[in-house]
């Protein structure tokens, strides 16, 4: 996929999305199997820690951190009860808080595989499988 990246860290852990955040931390999500998602925090010394527990059935695909307020935003794929939803993640326990469906008046995007804040104006963009780029 165009946006999806695979990172191999410490020779044992795979991440599908990894982004830098405040305080020199990186956040990552591992999309395990069909639709289980595990968030991680990666420190500057490359130590890796789970952020909360595995979120069964969440199918988190996209992840980015808002450069203005440090909030973690994620999007879901289509292998969940809430396909194509936007969430923010509690940085203390990894709990995804649902914001809402990613849609226009006419169309609900059901597989949003990537998120990214544009550095020039901090607009949140997404990549919807089979649809292309979209903005929020």
CATH number of 7-135: 2.120.10.30
Dist CA 118 CA 33 (whole Å): 30
Query: What are 36-67's pLDDT values in tens digits?
Result: 999 999 988 889 999 999 999 999 999 999 99
103 burial (CB, 10 Å; 0-12 / 13-18 / 19+) is middle
Query: What are 3-31's pLDDT values in tens digits?
Result: 222 232 222 234 445 555 556 888 999 98
| Phi-psi category of residue 92: left, alpha or beta, with phi > 0 → left and psi -120 to 50 → alpha | alpha
Dist CA 22 CA 87 (whole Å): 19
Domain boundaries, the chain: 7-135
């Amino acid at each position: 996929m165009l946006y999806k990246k695979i990172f191999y860290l410490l020779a044992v852990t795979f991440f599908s999305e990894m982004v830098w955040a405040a305080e020199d931390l990186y956040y990552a999500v591992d999309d395990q199997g069909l639709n289980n998602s595990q968030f991680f925090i990666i420190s500057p010394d490359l130590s890796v820690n789970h952020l909360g527990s595995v979120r069964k059935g969440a199918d988190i695909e996209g992840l980015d951190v808002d450069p203005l307020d440090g909030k973690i935003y994620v999007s879901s794929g289509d292998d969940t009860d809430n396909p194509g939803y936007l969430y923010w993640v509690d940085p203390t326990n990894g709990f995804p808080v649902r914001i809402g469906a990613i849609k226009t008046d006419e169309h609900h995007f059901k597989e949003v595989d990537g998120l990214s804040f544009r550095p020039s104006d901090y607009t949140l963009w997404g990549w919807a499988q089979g649809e292309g780029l979209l903005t929020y």
